Structure 1
Amino acid sequence: MMHDKTSFSLKTLAAAALAAALLAACGSSPPTQFYTLAVPADGAAACTASQGPQTFIEVMPVSVPDRLARPQLVVRSDATRVEVLEQDRWSSPFNNELRDALAAGVAARLGAIDVSRGGRPADQASYRINVELRDFDAARNGQVQASFGWTITRSDDRRGGACRLTVVEPVGGGANADVVAATQKAVGRAVQAIADSVRALQAGQGGQCSA
């Protein structure tokens, strides 16, 4: 009789464990996907350092609309609503991700050194770049539209210029990864325009913008 009770208890525990496992499997969330704005280095796009003094840049923290200052992707679902995607995230808060992508891209195109976090030699001037993402809208199967504004000043004389750029990139599909790819392209266009602004300032044309 004791053997029968023990066998029944074990079967009951096994059934309960199986039921709990099935419930956990049914209720589990899909794995979180992490994305980056960083683009793999392209030797053709990067500008090699020219002969002469080394260029130093300092990209300051980027200002973004409040709704975007988070790690989650934010996409438009219709004319009046946006979605904050808990399972699709940038590798860091979007404002930090954007600053890092801009700094790396501009440094690569200019053959410059980014001293934003490491400092620069005391006897060297740097180009301080302040960027604001004034507007950003992204939709699956739609487009990414981004409006940037920036100022660039030399650390030794404070002369500089202010520019702005609005870019539109088509989103090639209905996946969140397609939104990320279009956002990368939009940021890449801003990187090129900012790098061109630094070159203009180096040439004494601080009031000119390429965009």
Structure 2
Amino acid sequence: MKNKKNHSLHSKAATWLLGGSMVLTAVVITACSSSPTPNYYTISPKVTPSVNSTIRVIEVLPVGLPDRLDRAPLVLQDSNGKSTVLDNERWTSTMSTQLRDTLSAGLQQKLGAIDSYSSGLAGNNQPLYRVSTDFSHFDIVDKSNINVAVSWVVKRQIPPTQLQSSNAKVITNAGSQLNCRIAFKQPIDQKAKKLEAIVSASSEAMSQIINTVSASIVALDSNKKSVINNGVCS
């Protein structure tokens, strides 16, 4: 009789444990299924091709970016320097990759050139213009503007076969490097939806950067002084 009673108690305990585990599993599944789906954004600048460009090959290197910004989630800052990471509002890649790919695509479209870094292609006997870029700021501040500060170096590399040509520019390779920097604030439209306005302002900021960098490349190609707004080249 005692054995039957113990068996009954064990059965009830097992049933209770099984039921408890099923409840726990249901809670975990419900918690996972209720997690919000992230929204993804990409920077899409508007670029007008240059009709006078003779540049055919560029090489856009990976950009420098502070660790505080180099992530996929959008990062907002207030005027006191406090940062808020929006885990469910994301760029389609890390910010440094987003900036490099946007700069590369924009310069290719603007100049009618190919990027040998991303494509693996190289122009036959064409001067190559290598662009290295460092963003010290691309900060979304107070939801009112994007603070941008960027420096870049453009280096011209002449193929050995062209060094023997009759073109004075490529024989001497005079002025083979430009060092530039700009800083500006890109306003964020306060009447538009917050995230859409931030992405739009980011795209407009990159449009200005692409136009300025491309102008410096064209100036180097022509051995002319580069004059840029909100910055300097030397």
- TM bucket (normalised to shorter chain) is 0.7 to 0.9
- With over 3 angstroms needed to count, the CA separation of the structure-2 counterparts of 1:54 and 1:166, relative to structure 1, is closer
TM-score normalised according to structure 2 size: 0.72
Question: In the alignment, is the contact (CA less than 8 A) between 1:57 and 1:113 conserved in 2?
Answer: yes
Corresponding position of 1:190? 209
Rounded Cα–Cα distance in structure 2 between residues aligned with 1:78 and 1:54? 42
| Runs of 4 or more consecutive aligned structure 1 residues displaced over 4 Å after TM superposition | none
Rounded Cα–Cα distance in structure 1 between residues aligned with 2:36 and 2:219? 48
- With over 3 angstroms needed to count, the CA separation of the structure-2 counterparts of 1:26 and 1:111, relative to structure 1, is closer
Greater C-alpha Rg: 2
Question: In the alignment, is the contact (CA less than 8 A) between 1:49 and 1:112 conserved in 2?
Answer: no
The CA deviation at 1:25 is: 6.9
Rounded Cα–Cα distance in structure 1 between residues aligned with 2:59 and 2:80? 38
Rounded Cα–Cα distance in structure 2 between residues aligned with 1:115 and 1:148? 22
- With over 3 angstroms needed to count, the CA separation of the structure-2 counterparts of 1:49 and 1:114, relative to structure 1, is farther
Corresponding position of 1:34? 40
Letter of the 1:121 counterpart: G
Corresponding position of 2:150? 148
TM-score normalised according to structure 1 size: 0.79
Question: In the alignment, is the contact (CA less than 8 A) between 2:76 and 2:143 conserved in 1?
Answer: no
Range with bigger deviation, 30-39 or 81-90: 30-39
Question: In the alignment, is the contact (CA less than 8 A) between 1:139 and 1:179 conserved in 2?
Answer: no
Corresponding position of 1:171? 188
Matches within 5 A, 1:16-165: 20=26, 24=30, 28-39=34-45, 45-48=48-51, 55-117=56-118, 118-121=120-123, 123-139=125-141, 141-156=143-158, 157=173, 159-165=176-182
The CA deviation at 1:114 is: 1.6
Percent identity between matched residues is 29
Corresponding position of 1:10? none
Question: In the alignment, is the contact (CA less than 8 A) between 2:59 and 2:130 conserved in 1?
Answer: yes
RMSD across aligned positions (CA): 2.9
Listed as ranges, the gaps of 5+ residues in structure 1 are: 1-12
Letter of the 2:30 counterpart: A
